Amino acid sequence: MFRYFLGLLLSIPACIAAAATPVAAPGIVHAEQVVLLVRDTGMYNAGRGVAWRAGDLLDSRDGTVQLDIGGAAISLGPGTRLFFRQTAEVVLLQGWLKVRGSATRALAVNATLLRFDAAGATAIVHATPGATEVFAETGELALHELNAGKPGRKLKLPGEQFAVRSGAQPLRVLARPAAPFLAAMPPGFRDLLVPLAQGPAVLPKRERRAEYAELAPWLAHQPALRQQVQRRFEPPRPRRAAASPSHFNQQP
């Protein structure tokens, strides 16, 4: 009994220290050039050190971006659009993404037709309007087929294997990446993805007000996200109170 209470007392300072340790905010830790950030109803120019918020959308434009999200490193290729759902999930709307997951924290990657947890693995994903391709560079991925956003069939993708899903067709697994995939892959994705040190957080620079009409095409294959973003610009109207019965309709 004495040993139990002694161990409990010794664990208290460690728990206090862990609770007092600030959690690093996810952020854009490196960008070769300024990228586009959509936050709330505004468009911003964003660069190194801009911290993410849930609900943000990012367009990498013509450059490459590296992010740190909860200990996981993510690289985005040119022409890539990403939705930051929460600290444990990102949605690749289109383009190229490479992720090196943390061994201790889950990070879900949603790519319209597929979803997987990148914890302890490194993967390269390519998303187009009609197909999603995934290469498990290291580690094993547990892939879920998505049908209208809902998880369906699940299968494991071993390291160094390649998977592709087109439209509503079942997922196909190949022993090696397809030649067109390798030819189109951003050159930097061949390098080891190493987390970068974060500097002081900076604020993004507001460019102008965004319009829902220009964002809707980004979310064409994500109905739930499209509705979520639409509500920012078109909040639901309050319900009208039910009219009280008229005394003229009352029976004597």
Please report, for the domain that includes residue 83, its CATH number.
2.60.120.1440
Q: Are 77 and 97 in contact (CB under 8 A)?
A: yes
Kindly state whether residue 6 falls inside one of the protein's structural domains. no
- Domain assignment present for residue 78? The answer is yes
In a domain, 195, yes or no: no
Q: Domain for residue 1, yes or no? A: no
Beta-bridge partner residues of 58: 37, 82
List the one residue out of 72, 63, 78 whose CA is nearest residue 109: 72
Q: Which residues pair with 65 in a beta bridge?
A: 31, 76
Range of the domain at 167: 23-190
The pLDDT value given to residue 92: 97
Mean pLDDT in order along the chain per 10 residues (252 residues)? 38 36 53 89 91 92 88 93 90 96 92 92 94 96 85 90 90 93 95 82 91 93 90 78 54 50
Q: What is the pLDDT of residues 9-58, one digit of tens each?
A: 334 333 333 333 333 445 676 777 889 999 999 999 998 888 888 999 99
3-state secondary structure the chain: CHHHHHHHHHHHHHHHHHHHCCCCCCEEEEECCCEEEEECCEEEEECCCEECCCCCEEECCCCCEEEEECCEEEEECCCCEEEEEECCEEEEEEEEEEEECCCCCCCEEECCCEEEECCCCEEEEEEECCEEEEEEEECCEEEEEEECCEEEEEEEECCCCEEEEECCCCCEEECCCCHHHHHHCCHHHHCCCCCCCCCCCECCEEEEECCHHHHHHHHCCCHHHHHHHHHHHCCCCCCCCCCCCCHHHCCC
Q: What is the predicted pLDDT for the residue at 249?
A: 52
- Residue 153 placed within a domain: yes
**In a domain? residue 247:** no
Total number of domains constituting the chain: 1
Contact 98, 189 (CB under 8 A): yes
pLDDT confidence of residue 207: 94
Residue 10 lies in a domain: no
Question: Is residue 71 domain-resident?
Answer: yes
pLDDT score at 206: 95
* pLDDT confidence of residue 10: 37
